[in-house]
Amino acid sequence: MSPAGLRIASDTSLQSGTPLELTFCVGEVCYLHISGQVLFCTESRSNQAHHIGVAFSAIRDWEQLVLLSALKELGDSSRTRNKSLVTIKVSRDRYAIAASEIQNPSSNTLTVDEGNGSESSSETLTASPEPSSSDNVPLWHAIAPIVETPQTSEIEAAPRIEAPCFTLLLNGEDLDTRSYKYCFYADKLVSEHRAVLHVLRQLKRGRIPAKVKDYIFATYCIGGRDTNQAAMRAAHAASKEFRFFSLAQRMRIATDIHGLLVDHKKQLIDLMVKEGHPLRLAEWEFTGMEQAYRKESLEFYSQHLRAKIGVQGEESFYLTRKPDGVVGVCPPRNAPCSSSLIAGFALLAGNTLIVKPPLHMPVSTIFLWKNVVNKALQLNNAPRGTLNIVTGNSSLILEEWITGNYVNDILFIGESTTGLEIGRRAFQWGKKPVLELSGNDMMFVWRDADISSAVESLLDGFMGSTQICMVPKKAFVHEDIYQQFETRFVEAIKTLRVGLPSDPEVLLSPVAKMGKFQEFLYDALSKGAELLCGGTRVDHRGLPDQDGPFILPSVLRISDEKTAIDMKCVRDENFFPLIPLIKVSGTEAGDKQSEKDDLIFKKMIAAANSNAYGLRVSVWVKSEQLIETFMEQIHNSGLIRINCRHAGFSPFLATHGGTGRSGGPFGELNYVWQKTSHLQGIALTQSKQSTE
């Protein structure tokens, strides 16, 4: 046993994630009550017992002191022999009960008080089972996978309510499928769970509550069995014409996308906030969308889509990129609107599109593609069917894209394991996978760095509670400035707070993977890391709550970089607010500063290039010589940002793309206009005209 958790032997098997209640007693005197969660369960060789790891949830400082003191006393006390020390009760988590209530609306009991979560991963290729009642399911998850995600191709219709309805787009026409789902205000999901569940249960029974408009801001259409098939046929037919649009015409479309995007900034940000993106996060997302389509970048892209590369004698040589055809686009749940817009560059290459927004909170994505991209296509007389928008069962839609005859490329944005499997299957069927997957971004801070700027950049790692792929998720810091950097960073974190998404001061989001956070934290602490701050589960007011939807920003100190590589929080992606600071030491090299620096540099390069992921790397260093060396030797990333904001955006450079598990075997900086086209060389000799 330790203050982080305990390991027990049991004749009962418990699934990972099972919530527990633990009561610590001496005889009949109970001195502490803590909630916990199963981290792992392994069967012993004798098959007569199970070894179960339990992590404590949101243990507070005073509880830790009590526990440590009690453990010390109990260890030396003969009074505790043959007496029960801890009673463990396997209980259903309140959010799991909420999920059960949604699945079984006939129940008359409602036991959810508070709680929330945020879906972050992409929908999987194969339909996932509904959460069992013993899973630790946040309410936001309970509403999304159970209510919104169908297990068959047909989706149960819901009553139409008086709210803006977001229809689909098929062959140039709005498509009202007469099958609707609802978007709840994220603020209400965070602060009024009981009321939200009541509204949802009434709607599932076909009733429309009197105050439904207070909780639902939009409805949206769900595609039926034939919607995706019709979209594929429409996109295929349109591609036969759109591929012959001149590069100048396609450039005008991209330019108009930028103009319309700016015109609709307020509506887009407002919709993203209603869906659950903190205002500051939504504004950052919009910045990336807008900068990607600026004039200087579009002109740079056009130069690489068609260029004259040389002349020899009477022969001229050209390189041109030709469109692949139809591109299916599957954005993630955590940032579908902003992430999906990179697919607009497939239009610049001459492709047609089918865009499938996620089933959970898709309206900002639908609004973007209908009111910005489709409007730009209409202004430039693109053929009907150039853009199609469908919703429905992700598993079946992706399967039809992969195995059908009409889709040429699949742009999948989401979690690595799912994405790599989709890429493998797409490749087997002769389709081109364009993968934009998970990130495990690293920051490196040299001893001459601008510490204030580096600290500010690392704070971006907590945007959306670190549930964004391209934010910094760990920092490797030169030992000479480590303490100064740590002090400033921990102090800066005090300015961050939880709250409702609409609050302009809030940066943190409800955390989807509570169990994973506890697993990663327990793993790090058991291997020598120290928790400097955070780790407490709280409600939207910032008050400690063992069932709260938020986790306070958490920082780990790792004093030995050699042990760091074995920690999950360093090796894998942290998709929750946990940032480790790793002190990189050169003491083994001796006393000379140059020798110490050389060793520290090699350790930093090794960490960067051994990362299984490879989206972004940022470096903070002033030495011009080291800048060049960092640029030359870091090869395992799609983008390196030196002395500039890690999560920033720059002209000419793509916003996405990476190597390893971030982009698959063909991963690199992701110019979608390049990925969805193929290179063609042209040699031209002008024929001599007769002078007769």
pLDDT at 161: 82
- The more confidently predicted of residues 118 and 481 is 481
* Chain centroid, CA 493 distance in Å: 22
Under the phi-then-psi rule, with left for phi > 0, alpha for psi from -120 to 50, and beta for the rest, what region is 462? alpha
Which of 68-77, 119-128, 658-667 has the highest mean predicted lDDT (pLDDT)?
A: 658-667
Structure confidence at residue 438 as a pLDDT band (50, 70, 90): very high
Higher pLDDT, 263 or 153: 263
Provide the pLDDT for residue 122. Answer: 34
Distance CA 389, CA 173 (A): 10
- One-letter amino acid at 227 equals T
Helix axes 416-428, 394-403, angle to 10 degrees: 30
CB 318 within 8 A of CB 684: yes
pLDDT at 210 over 60: yes
pLDDT of residue 473: 98
pTM above 0.85, yes or no: no
Q: Decide: helix, strand or coil at residue 606.
A: helix
Residue 367 pLDDT class (50, 70, 90 cuts): very high
Considering only 127-141, 155-169, 396-410, which range has the smallest mean pLDDT? 127-141
Q: What is the pLDDT of residues 558-583, one digit of tens each?
A: 999 999 999 999 999 999 999 999 99
| CA-based nearest residue to 4, from 659, 550, 554, 426 | 554
Does the pLDDT at position 320 exceed 80?
Answer: yes
Quick check: 6 and 485 in contact, CB under 8 A?
no
| Identity at 192, one-letter amino acid code | E
Segment 402-431, tens digit of pLDDT? 999 999 999 999 999 999 999 999 999 999
**CA 474 to each of CA 423, 459, 575, 580, 661: distance values in angstroms, whole numbers, following the listed order:** 28, 11, 12, 5, 17
Whether pLDDT at 509 is above 80: yes
pLDDT digits (tens, 9 = 90+) for 278-295: 999 999 999 999 999 999
Question: 355 and 368 in contact (C-beta within 8 Å)?
Answer: no
List the structure tokens of 169: 């787009």
Nearest to residue 255, comparing CAs of 305, 306, 295?
A: 295
